[in-house]
Amino acid sequence: MEEVCARFVSQKISKARWRPLPAAALQPPDLFATGSWDNEDNRISIWSVGDVGSAGLNGEYQGEPQLLCDIRHNGDVMDMQTLSASHRWENAHYHADQYTACGGAACTGVICNNPEIVTVGEDGRINLYRADQKDAVRTIDNADSSTLHAVTFLRTTEILTVNSIGQLKIWDFRQQRNEPAQIFSLTGDRVPLHCVDRHPNQQHIVATGGQDGMLSIWDIRQGTMPVSLLNAHEAEMWEVHFHPSNPDHLFTCSEDGSLWHWDTSTDVSEKPSFLHQGGRSTAYFSHSTINQSVVSAWLSNDPTKDRMEITNLIPNQTLSVNTLDVLGPCLVYGTDAEAIYVNRQLFA
Amino acid sequence: MEEPDTEPPLTVVPGADPARTQLCFEWGPAEMLLCETLFGRRGGERRGAPGGSAGPAPTGCGVAGGGDGAPGPSRVFVVRRDQDIYMETLRKLFNESHGIFVGLQRCEEERAARARNAQLVQVSKNYRSVIRACMEDMHQAAISARDSALHSQYSIQVSILSAMELIWNLCEILFVEAAPAGPLLLRLLDWVQLHICDVDNMVREVLGQRKSIKNTSSFWNVVDIFVLQGRMDEARHLLSKEAIANPTSMNMYKILDDLMKKMPVPSLGNTQTLTEMELKWQHWHEECQRYLQDGTFASNSHMESICKILLGDENAILEKKELMTTWYHFLVTRLLYSHPTVKSMELRFYAQSSMDMFLGEESNPEPLDTILMAAFEFELHQVIKECSVALSNWWFVAHLTDLLDHCKLLQSHNLYFGSNMREFLLLEYASGLFSHHSLWQLGVDYFDHCPEYGRVYLELHIERIPLNTEQKALKVLRICEQRQMHEQVRSICKIMAMKALRNNRLGSALSWSIRAKDAAFATLISDRFLKDYCERGYFSDLDLIDNLGPSMLLSDRLTFLGKYREFHRLYGEKRFSEAARLLLMLMTAHIAPCSFWMTLLTDALPLLEQKEVIFSAEQTYELMRCLEDLTARKLDKQKFQDDDVETMKVEMLRLALARNLARVIVKEGTLEGS
């Protein structure tokens, strides 16, 4: 991993997100935002990772993230998305009484699909906002009896949420009733699910990560149970992301301090070289399939036909990796050891 | 216990005015709470102070406290002793050194002593580079600080860090690397060169001057300092420039240059033994002596003094005091020119005499000097003790002691309460970390590596971390689970479950109690659900109850809840016979709590009243028995002021049961098919 730059930033990082680039952009992303947690004075900071070729400002090591600006934030930063908006929606999540000081509840997830913003929280509430309106467009009170941990858009009018009793729910905003359109859950123990992500191209494939570090792949067209359960980490999986442009690659990060790269691309000749370094983990199944076009590799659960490479990208793991984001060839992740790491050559 | 040898420092707490109100205080693990009581000075109000002590005996008289009528609200002050952990730049130091510390504990011991030594030296260098990086940052922060108080605070920190690195470097040379005679001197020279940095400024100044204005004294100062630090090549380079400028004294320069070139230095590799080196050095020394006595350099005082320095003349070296600035520089220079093959054990003799010679009359050694002296004397415990006293937090001593312990240099010197010094320091350091709102996560790893008391400390500290969000609670829980601290897991889950329950998040509460495998709490939650149902007539949170899965078995009450909901579902789907069977099973298998039987029987009513017969005769008898059990128990407990609703219900039930019995007997008695 030659191109990983680390920087210690004196704050525990809870979320890091790349600034989105237009789809046709040729440049790799160069700006990302991070949010901190567990400080008396939390901050959201924007960092720039310059081009590898250009000289640093003070002759510093190029490639180290440089702080552009930051802003104070009340409370821990739980989730971040990029949008241009100029509103503040206060007291979006609360338990009993909206405006008392101790009645507030943590907002655990936010997702945007310009111009709509959806938030979910520990109070089991789902709020839908529009960027230009002051009040919530729609609020589903008591959508869930437990904490909603994460949310993502399924289609423009549907969202997916995961909660702390191990359920994946689809909500359709076109319907007026305050019930989920569909509920999926794991069999066995109701392990809380912490993160969810949808396949960028094939919208019926959804990945979730649970408290026991298990990665579950679901096909929401059929059944109420996951298609495959993969034993991954040894502790809570905090984030799971499909790579937006190479969806055969999946990234997960966890409380046990590891960040795994799951690769189901089966083209043998183009094996990315970075996979041959670092801590290589197990899971070679067998030789490749040639015809893998229609049925995504994620859904086929025949272990003899599939081959998945799983690599741990962190050689010496200590504290939890709380967040990761991947865009193009760049990966950024933040840890509880108060450090940010940027890898700008993922597929070199 | 020893007497403290200095007066304790006075700390002024801004905002607290002991002249106005009496203050009470309470010690915390790393801080102190100070509270204003409602007692004024003598003559002021005398209401009971909330939780405060009565205060010391009133001193003197006179100043009446209660000038402004009712006292304002009492304020609580938190006095933190260790300011350092709240500095942002120092946090990087803590985090990076935590990584190095954990790496050191985890890395496997190399077998070969040489490799092990190299490994430990590398770790020590890592620590030092972390300190230097922090120093850089702090320096940058000091420069860009606009507030003068902040600027001075940062500057103080920079000097503290620089002193720490100095001490650590010396300890690395003497203890970790344990350089043998020969390379020892080279290391010491490097050490001195690294830490007296004015040289570079001076050099730049001199080299920047063109031939026009030649400031002779600064030129010779630079040459002198090069010679004092053993940087022969650089000295010769400068001298050659001077030689070109003054061709008349070319001869002298040539000789001096020659002497400097031939000076034997200890080599790092094994190219020469110590005796060889000593021999060569002796010859060279005599040669220098000859040139000096011949008066070769008599015409140029600068060059003569350089020659004297080369001969190790202490007075000549002492003349250059301002250039050397510190006694340890003097020590190293002395050693370079009089005993280059000094062994580390011999250092102590030279160290003490050097300090005395350098400091002279005002022999008031600073704390840094005593620490360095203790290091030269190989008094490890003294070094650690002095550092602990001089520095404000435990970071330095904890990490240094741990490293020295890995070098197997500290005898297991048991302290009063049983743990050894390394463990004591690590425990103190980690406890300090736990008082910080964010750095507690680092402290966990430190406790892990304290074999005797680490676990106990961790158990006590981890329960006291404030849990504001669920995510933080999850992280703390994971730490406890990984270390099998079941008590703590249970207590944290109970706290979170109670919070959730209070906020009416029954699903969250249930998920917390499942995590803790807390059957009692699950029972509590189920009772809440059932109570809600009884009050409202419908179930809230169906998504939870419908999907309980195997966690239903955690507690009986929860199982009942799940099954009861299943009953409702079966009823809704019109699968009456199954529903009936389930209902009966709930009562006969005693899954249902007794308080709920009435409700269950009432639920049986619509089934009894259906057009077709659902309950069989057996089942009807069972139902009747249950009803009788219920009323019998009720009669025992309740007085005879039953409300009418109850009696009416019982009447209706009896009627329905009787009617059903009648129908079912007829039905069962009838032959099928007719």
pLDDT tens, B633-649? 777 666 555 567 788 88
User: Of A194-208, B265-279, B527-541, B592-606, which has the strongest mean pLDDT?
Assistant: A194-208
Q: Could you tell me the CA-to-CA distances from A99 to A15, A103, A123, A143 in Å, in that order?
A: 27, 7, 14, 20
Per-residue DSSP letter, B609: T
Which residues make Cβ contacts (< 8 Å) with residue A348, sequence separation at least 6?
A3, A272, A273, A274, A329
Establish if B525 belongs to a structural domain. yes
B663 burial (CB, 10 Å; 0-12 / 13-18 / 19+) is middle
Instruction: Check: CB of residue B588 under 8 Å from CB of residue B597.
Output: no
- Boundary residue ending a domain (B342, B361, B395): B342
Verify that B549 and B655 share a domain, yes or no.
no
Q: On the CB side of B397, how many CA atoms lie within 13 Å of its CA?
A: 26
Establish if B656 belongs to a structural domain. yes
Question: What are the chain A neighbours of B549 within 8 Å (beta carbons)?
Answer: 185, 187-190
Question: What are the chain A neighbours of B98 within 8 Å (beta carbons)?
Answer: 318, 337
Verify that B624 and B566 share a domain, yes or no.
no
CB–CB contact B504 A95 (8 Å) = yes
Q: What is the pLDDT of residue A144?
A: 84
Residue ranges of E strands in B29-104: 31-40, 76-80
Å between B84 CA and nearest CA of chain A? 13
Domain range for B529 is 470-573
Return d(Cα B335, Cα B189) in angstroms, integer. 10
Question: What are the chain B neighbours of A146 within 8 Å (beta carbons)?
Answer: 505, 507-508, 510-511, 544
Establish if B406 belongs to a structural domain. no
- Note the residue count of chain A: 348
Q: Which residues of A79-107 are buried (b: 16+ CB within 10 A; e: fewer)?
A: bbbeeebeeebeebbbbeeeeeeeebbbb
Nearest to A344 by CA among A112, A62, A79, A56: A62
Question: What are the chain A neighbours of B445 within 8 Å (beta carbons)?
Answer: 318
| pLDDT bucket at B33, cuts 50 / 70 / 90 | confident
Between B518 and A267, name the one with better pLDDT. B518
CB–CB contact B547 A76 (8 Å) = no
Establish if B257 belongs to a structural domain. yes
Verify that B200 and B281 share a domain, yes or no.
yes
CB–CB contact B511 A192 (8 Å) = yes
Q: Which residues of B129-141 are buried (b: 16+ CB within 10 A; e: fewer)?
A: ebbebbbebbbeb
Mean pLDDT on B155-184: 90
Verify that B655 and B557 share a domain, yes or no.
no
- Boundary residue ending a domain (B284, B316, B342): B342
| pLDDT bucket at B403, cuts 50 / 70 / 90 | very high
Structure tokens belonging to residue A151: 């949310």
Structure tokens belonging to residue A65: 């993230």
Q: What is the pLDDT of residue A272?
A: 41
Between B563 and B114, name the one with better pLDDT. B563
Verify that B563 and B603 share a domain, yes or no.
no
Return d(Cα A58, Cα B636) in angstroms, integer. 89
CB–CB contact B507 A124 (8 Å) = yes
State the residue for tokens 């003068």: B148
pTM of the model: 0.82
Q: What is the pLDDT along chain A (348 residues), one digit of tens a residue?
A: 457 888 888 889 998 988 888 777 778 888 888 988 888 888 888 898 875 444 434 444 456 777 777 777 766 667 777 666 556 666 667 665 555 555 667 778 888 777 788 888 888 889 888 878 888 888 888 888 888 999 999 988 899 999 888 889 999 999 888 888 888 888 777 789 999 999 998 888 999 999 999 999 999 888 788 888 888 899 999 999 999 888 889 999 999 999 999 988 765 443 443 343 344 443 333 333 333 344 567 776 555 455 778 888 888 788 999 999 999 888 999 999 999 999 888 876
Q: What is the pLDDT of residue A341?
A: 92
How many CB atoms neighbour CB B581 within 10 A? 17
Establish if B123 belongs to a structural domain. no
Instruction: Check: CB of residue B487 under 8 Å from CB of residue B452.
Output: no
Return d(Cα A104, Cα A75) in angstroms, integer. 11
Verify that B207 and B245 share a domain, yes or no.
yes
Establish if B524 belongs to a structural domain. yes
Nearest to B589 by CA among B600, B603, B602, B575: B600
Which residues make Cβ contacts (< 8 Å) with residue A54, sequence separation at least 6?
A62
Mean pLDDT on B126-145: 91
Give percent of chain B above pLDDT 70. Answer: 88
Structure tokens belonging to residue A317: 């793991």
B272 burial (CB, 10 Å; 0-12 / 13-18 / 19+) is middle
Q: How far apart are the first and last CA of chain A?
A: 10
CB–CB contact B503 A105 (8 Å) = yes
| pLDDT bucket at B311, cuts 50 / 70 / 90 | confident
Q: What is the pLDDT of residue A61?
A: 47
Q: Which residues of B68-98 are buried (b: 16+ CB within 10 A; e: fewer)?
A: eeebeebeebeeeebebbebebbbbbbbbbb
Instruction: Check: CB of residue B485 under 8 Å from CB of residue B462.
Output: yes
Out of B88, B95, B442, the one facing A339 most closely (by C-beta) is B95
Q: Could you tell me the CA-to-CA distances from A103 to A99, A126, B204, B502 in Å, in that order?
A: 7, 17, 64, 11
Verify that B618 and B554 share a domain, yes or no.
no
Verify that B563 and B632 share a domain, yes or no.
no
Q: Quick check: helix, strand or coil at residue A165?
A: coil
Verify that B226 and B289 share a domain, yes or no.
yes
Residues 100-139 of B with CB under 8 A from A: 102-103
A267 burial (CB, 10 Å; 0-12 / 13-18 / 19+) is exposed
Q: Does ipTM come in above 0.95?
A: no
Instruction: Check: CB of residue B35 under 8 Å from CB of residue B51.
Output: yes
Residue B420 is which amino acid? N
Establish if B173 belongs to a structural domain. no
Q: What is the pLDDT of chain B when averaged over all its residues? A: 82
CB–CB contact A145 B469 (8 Å) = no
Verify that B216 and B312 share a domain, yes or no.
yes
Verify that B552 and B607 share a domain, yes or no.
no
Q: How far apart are the first and last CA of chain B?
A: 105
Å between A231 CA and nearest CA of chain B? 17
Element housing A310 (H / E): strand A309-312
Ramachandran bin of B24, using left for φ above 0, alpha for ψ from -120 to 50, beta for the remaining angles = beta
**B194-198, B291-295, B313-317: which has the minimum mean pLDDT?**
B194-198
Out of A37, A147, A190, the one facing B470 most closely (by C-beta) is A147
Mean pLDDT on B76-95: 82
Establish if B332 belongs to a structural domain. yes
CB–CB contact B544 A145 (8 Å) = yes
Instruction: Check: CB of residue B525 under 8 Å from CB of residue B508.
Output: no
- Residue B6: pLDDT above 80? no
B536 close to A (CB below 8 A): no
Mean pLDDT on B547-554: 79
Q: Quick check: helix, strand or coil at residue B423?
A: helix
Out of B445, B543, B550, the one facing A183 most closely (by C-beta) is B543
Q: Which residues of A183-194 are buried (b: 16+ CB within 10 A; e: fewer)?
A: ebbbeeebbbbb
Q: Quick check: helix, strand or coil at residue B171?
A: helix
SS3 content of chain A, % helix, strand, coil (to 5): 0, 40, 55
Q: What total of structural domains would you count in chain B?
A: 3
Verify that B551 and B605 share a domain, yes or no.
no
Give percent of chain B above pLDDT 90. Answer: 18
- Residue B100: pLDDT above 80? yes
B478 close to A (CB below 8 A): yes
Out of B95, B468, B471, the one facing A8 most closely (by C-beta) is B95
Sign of CA dihedral A256, A258, A259, A263: negative
- Boundary residue ending a domain (B540, B573, B606): B573
Is the preceding omega at residue A115 within 30 degrees of 0, hence cis?
Answer: yes
